[in-house]
Amino acid sequence: MDFGVGFLSNNVMLPILDFFYGIVPSYGLAIIFLTLVIRFALYPLNVGSIRNMRRMKVINPLMQRRMREIQEKYRDDPQKLREAQAKLYSELGVNPLGGCLPLLIQMPVLFALFATLRGSPFAAVTYDVNLQILPAEVAAEVVTTPYVSPSKNIFVTDSVHKPVVLVAPKGTKIAVGEQVQFRLQGPGGKPFEQLVAEAGGDPTLLRPTWRITKGEERAQIQPDGTLLALQPGEVTVEVAIPGLASDTGFLFIDKLGRVGAFDPDGTIHWDIIGMIVLFGVSIYLNQSLTNAGQEDPSQSSMARITPVLFSAMFLFFPLPAGVLLYILVSNIFQTVQTFLLSREPLPENLQQLVEEERRRAAQASTGEAKEVDRPAKPKAAGGGRESLPFEP
């Protein structure tokens, strides 16, 4: 049994999506509500991570100085060095892994949400089966068993989805000249067309599309999924079931299932570009809030470059509009969360440590300035003793 991304998608994400679509029959709003529910559920983990990162940045000068002192003191004793470093982290109330662990914990949930929005009803769902076509005399000696693909949830109506599998009755090894028919089946072995009819769906909107993606010269396939083996070799068959909401719009988004900002004919989809630009702006605001008060030039440069890099990524590696909507809403939520947490006062002990470090740096700077400005004492001619002012 799958307890990973597929399990979370089918048993957590889809029920939440169904719930909100039942309240407000809008796929766009359902995506937004689903995203917000997941972000609020992960809020405690994100809060801890953001607070830890903020503390690390604030006390970074102090921590670097103390770390250099520790490394110098225990450079010949690795055990005591590790103990002193752990004690320092405990004293400062920070965790070097505090930003990584929450992210690792929530990654399966975010991947499941991502997978849900890339599947039915927002995009076409595809099944692939790899076949091996054998000479007739070789295939006669092979014991075949039916092939059944992993099930995938398919929306047969706006509110009804069923698990559907691809079945190859004669298995994945067939003989040259043999004709086989692939089938899409639901629970109890019901044909896919029957599932759609019983649910009241429109068969014309959910008509599967069959094609050969590898080894086209070795086989032919008909629109009904019937394959004729022509030559020995490997063949890959793909069937795609359209997504019901792929052509549905939301606000300024023309189609939730559209992939990419540019069509092969040069058509520009400004709704996709608009979401990419808004995503870049939200990243810039997030970076600005995270690095507020930092004077490191490298951090400032990174805050300007990161939004451009991430936004350009969606131009060269396009995603469906529904997935972009989820990413945009999620990042806006993250930016608001970062802003609210940036207003929190630091713990009293950290504030004291930071103030002490600032005073120490100011004193050190003042001392260096006095040393530089102090005039050199004149010496007597000929390298003798120093001449004192008003010396008789």
User: Mean pLDDT over residues 347-371, rounded?
Assistant: 62
In the predicted model, what is the mean pLDDT of residues 94-117? Answer: 69
More confident residue, 249 or 25: 25
Q: Is the pLDDT of residue 256 over 70?
A: yes
For residue 367, pLDDT beyond 60: no
Cα–Cα distance for residue pair 130/149, rounded to 1 Å = 11
Strands (E), the chain: 125-134, 147-148, 152-155, 161-168, 173-175, 179-181, 183-185, 209-214, 219-221, 226-229, 233-241
Q: What is the pLDDT of residue 2?
A: 47
Average pLDDT of span 29-41: 85
The sign one gets for the Cα dihedral 55, 60, 65, 69 is: positive
User: What is the structure's pLDDT at 301?
Assistant: 63
Least confident of 72-86, 128-142, 239-253, 274-288: 72-86
Residue 375 has pLDDT above 60, yes or no: no
Distance between CA atoms of 83 and 94, rounded to whole angstroms? 15
Q: State how far the Cα of 388 lies from the Cα of 392, in Å rounded to an integer.
A: 9
Q: Which of the given ranges, 73-77, 326-330, 366-370, has the highest pLDDT on average?
A: 326-330
Q: 159-179 in b/e burial notation, b at 16+ Cβ within 10 A?
A: eebbebbbbbebbbbbbbeee
The predicted structure's pLDDT at residue 389: 41
Separation of alpha carbons 140 and 200, rounded Å: 43
Q: In which band, very low, low, confident or very high, does the pLDDT at 298 lie, cut at 50, 70 and 90?
A: low
Identify the residue with better confidence: 14 or 314: 14
CA atoms within 13 A on the CB side of 103: 8
Give the closest residue to 229 by CA, choosing from 268, 177, 190, 288.
177
Which amino acid type is present at position 247? D
Give the residue extent of every domain in the chain: 5-117, 125-241
Residue 235 pLDDT exceeds 60: yes
Q: Does the pLDDT of residue 145 top 60, yes or no? A: yes
Q: Report the pLDDT value the prediction gives residue 1, as an integer from 0 to 100.
A: 40
Q: So what's the pLDDT on residue 99? A: 56
CB atoms within 10 A of CB 11: 12
Q: How does the average pLDDT of the chain come out, rounded?
A: 75
The reported pLDDT for the residue numbered 390 is 37
Between CA 14 and CA 3 the distance in angstroms is: 15
Residue 344: its pLDDT value, please?
66
Q: Percentage of the chain with pLDDT > 90?
A: 0
DSSP state of 390: T
What pLDDT score was predicted for residue 299?
54
Q: What is the mean pLDDT of residues 254-275?
A: 76
Residue 346 has pLDDT above 70, yes or no: no
Of 9 and 147, which is predicted with more confidence? 147
Least confident segment among 79-83, 262-266, 375-379, 380-384: 380-384
Q: How high is the pLDDT of residue 100?
A: 61
Mean pLDDT of 30-49: 81
- How confident is the model at residue 94, as a pLDDT? 61
Model confidence at 392, pLDDT cuts 50, 70, 90, reads: very low
Between 374 and 48, the higher pLDDT residue? 48
And the tokens for 254?
């023309």
* Higher-scoring residue by pLDDT: 101, 296: 101
83-87, 214-218, 292-296, 299-303: which is most confident: 214-218
Give the pLDDT band of residue 383 (cuts 50, 70, 90): very low
Q: What is the pLDDT of residue 115?
A: 78
Q: Determine the pLDDT at residue 353.
A: 65
Q: What number is the average pLDDT over the span 18-38?
A: 84
- Average pLDDT rounded to a whole number, residues 150-178: 84
Question: What's the pLDDT at 95?
Answer: 62
